C-alpha cells in the first residue's frame, strides 16, 4: 500500500507540473528509452575515468537534440546530475569495506577509518562551498559544447605534461591511504573545484591533486572514487531537491530510473577497467583521447 501510494504521489506531481508547463505555453521535453540507455551508458562509463562524464553527457545530449530550447536544456542538465546516483551506488557496492571502515572509525574502533572520513569531509568542503555559491552560474554559462571542448583539451594537455614529467616519481611510489593528512585532503578538494568546468573531469582533478601531493597512483584513484561518492551524493541530492519536481514532470520516473540502472552497471565495469588501465599505462592514453575528442568537437562546431 505504501509503494502504491508513492507511485500515486509521483504521478500526481508529474501531472500537476506538466499541467503548469502546458499552461505557460511551453512544450514538455521527452526522454525515449534509447536516450535513457545511451545517457546511462555514457554517465556510468565515464564518471570515474579522467575524461569528464558531464562533458560527454553534454555532447551526447546535444547530438540527440535534447538542448533544443531553455526548458529542454534545463531538464537535460538536471538529468545529467541526477543519474550520477547510479555511479555513486557502484562505488558504494565495490568499496563497501571502506564504508564499513569509516563507520567503525566513527564508533572509535578504527583510527584509520576515522582519519579517512575526516579527510573526505575536508576534501569535499571546497567544492561544497563553490557549488552552493556558483552552481546556477555554472549551469547557465558552462553547460555547452564550446566550454566542454576547452575543458577536454586543457585537461588532455595537463595529462600529457604530467606524464612527461612523471611527477618526479614512479606510479608505484608515494603515500598510502592512511598517510594522507588533512592538508593534503584540502589541497585535493581545492583541485576538485576545477571540475566545475564541464569537460575538465572531477576524476582527473582529484587524481592530479593526489599525485602532486605525492600520493601513490592506485591510492590516488581509490581516494578519487571515495571522494566522488561524497561529492556526487551531495550534488545529486541538491539537484534532486531543487529541480527534481520539474525533471519528473518532464521525463516521468521510468526513463530516468532506466538511465540510473544502466549507469550503475556501466560504472561498475568502468571502475574495474580504470584500476587495471591506470596500473599498466597511467593517465597518458586518456590525455590523447581527450585531445582527439576536443578536436572532433571543434570540427563539429564549425562544420
pLDDT band at 10 (very low <50, low <70, confident <90, very high): very low
For residues 248 and 214, give the distance between their C-alpha atoms in angstroms, rounded to a whole number: 44
Mean pLDDT of the chain: 85
pLDDT of res. 23 = 43
- Tell me the DSSP string of 188-239: HHHHHGGGGSTTS-HHHHHHHHHHHTTB-HHHHHHHHHHHHHHHHHHHHHHH
pLDDT of res. 194 = 94
C-alpha cell of 196? 566545475
For residues 259 and 303, give the distance between their C-alpha atoms in angstroms, rounded to a whole number: 31
* Candidate from 17-31, 64-78, 85-99, 122-136 with smallest mean pLDDT: 17-31
For residues 228 and 220, give the distance between their C-alpha atoms in angstroms, rounded to a whole number: 12
**Which of 34-43, 65-74, 140-149 is most confident?**
34-43
For residues 62 and 267, which has the higher predicted lDDT (pLDDT)? Answer: 267
134 has a pLDDT exceeding 50: yes
Over residues 228-255, mean pLDDT: 86
pLDDT of res. 166 = 60
pLDDT band at 170 (very low <50, low <70, confident <90, very high): low
Q: Percentage of residues in the chain with pLDDT exceeding 70? A: 87
186 Cβ partners below 8 Å, 6+ apart? 122, 123, 125, 126
pLDDT band at 5 (very low <50, low <70, confident <90, very high): very low
pLDDT band at 171 (very low <50, low <70, confident <90, very high): low
pLDDT digits (tens, 9 = 90+) for 252-277: 889 999 999 999 999 999 998 888 88
pLDDT of res. 303 = 79
Over residues 175-193, mean pLDDT: 95
pLDDT of res. 226 = 95
183 has a pLDDT exceeding 90: yes
Amino acid at each position: 500500500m505504501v509503494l502504491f501510494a508513492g507511485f500515486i504521489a509521483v504521478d500526481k506531481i508529474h501531472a500537476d507540473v506538466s499541467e503548469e508547463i502546458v499552461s505557460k505555453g511551453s512544450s514538455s521535453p521527452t526522454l525515449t528509452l534509447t536516450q535513457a540507455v545511451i545517457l546511462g551508458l555514457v554517465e556510468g562509463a565515464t564518471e570515474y575515468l579522467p575524461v569528464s562524464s558531464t562533458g560527454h553527457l553534454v555532447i551526447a545530449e546535444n547530438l540527440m537534440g535534447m538542448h533544443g530550447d531553455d526548458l529542454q536544456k534545463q531538464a537535460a542538465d538536471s538529468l545529467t546530475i541526477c543519474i550520477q546516483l547510479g555511479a555513486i551506488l557502484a562505488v558504494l557496492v565495490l568499496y563497501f569495506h571502506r564504508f564499513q571502515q569509516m563507520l567503525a572509525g566513527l564508533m572509535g574502533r578504527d583510527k584509520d577509518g576515522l582519519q579517512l572520513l575526516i579527510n573526505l569531509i575536508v576534501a569535499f568542503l571546497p567544492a561544497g562551498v563553490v557549488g552552493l555559491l556558483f552552481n546556477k552560474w555554472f549551469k547557465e554559462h558552462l553547460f555547452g559544447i564550446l566550454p566542454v571542448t576547452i575543458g577536454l583539451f586543457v585537461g588532455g594537455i595537463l595529462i600529457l605534461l604530467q606524464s612527461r614529467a612523471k611527477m618526479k616519481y614512479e606510479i608505484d611510489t608515494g603515500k598510502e591511504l592512511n598517510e594522507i593528512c588533512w592538508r593534503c585532503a584540502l589541497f585535493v578538494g581545492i583541485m576538485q573545484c576545477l571540475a566545475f568546468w564541464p569537460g575538465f573531469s572531477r576524476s582527473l582533478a582529484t587524481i592530479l591533486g593526489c599525485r602532486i601531493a605525492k600520493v601513490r597512483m592506485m591510492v590516488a584513484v581509490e581516494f578519487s572514487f571515495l571522494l566522488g561518492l561524497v561529492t556526487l551524493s551531495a550534488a545529486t541530492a541538491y539537484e534532486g531537491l531543487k529541480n527534481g519536481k520539474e525533471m519528473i514532470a518532464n521525463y516521468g520516473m521510468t526513463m530516468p530510473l532506466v538511465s540510473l540502472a544502466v549507469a550503475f552497471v556501466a560504472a561498475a565495469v568502468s571502475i574495474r577497467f580504470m584500476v587495471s588501465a591506470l596500473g599498466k599505462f597511467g593517465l597518458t592514453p586518456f590525455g590523447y583521447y581527450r585531445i582527439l575528442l576536443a578536436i572532433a568537437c571543434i570540427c563539429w562546431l564549425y562544420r
